[in-house]
């Protein structure tokens, strides 16, 4: 799953550490999300969307894998 997390965070001048603290996760989790190494739980996806006052779909892009 792709996401715009890093782009949105930087546009708003927020550091990874600040976002991690607000979401109660580690900075490493934020880095992994931004690099596409980790997909968030649905709860974390909602927390991120609420934090930025955006919809989940505006942040996370789900692309189905071809069969």
Question: What is the CATH classification number for the domain harbouring 53?
Answer: 1.10.260.40
Residue 67 maps to a domain = no
Q: Is 90 exceeded by the pLDDT of residue 62?
A: no
| pLDDT of the residue at 18 | 98
Domain that holds residue 22: 2-61
| pLDDT of the residue at 43 | 98
How confident is residue 59, by pLDDT bands cut at 50, 70 and 90?
Answer: very high
Residue 56 maps to a domain = yes
Residue 66 maps to a domain = no
**pLDDT tens digits, one per residue of 10-49:** 999 999 999 999 999 999 999 999 999 999 999 999 999 9
Under DSSP, is residue 21 helix (H, G, I), strand (E, B) or coil?
A: helix
Domain count, the chain: 1
Residue 46 maps to a domain = yes
Q: Kind and range of the H or E element at 3?
A: strand 2-3
What gap in Å lies between CA 56 and CA 28, rounded to an integer? 21
How confident is residue 7, by pLDDT bands cut at 50, 70 and 90?
Answer: very high
Residue 57 maps to a domain = yes
Kindly tell me the sign of the dihedral angle through the C-alpha atoms of 42, 53, 3, 17: negative
């Amino acid at each position: 799953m792709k996401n715009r997390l890093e782009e949105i965070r930087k546009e708003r001048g927020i550091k990874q550490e600040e976002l991690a603290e607000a979401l109660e996760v580690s900075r490493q989790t934020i880095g992994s999300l931004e690099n596409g190494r980790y997909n968030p739980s649905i709860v974390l996806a909602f927390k991120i969307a609420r934090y930025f006052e955006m919809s989940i779909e505006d942040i996370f892009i789900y692309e189905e894998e071809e069969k």
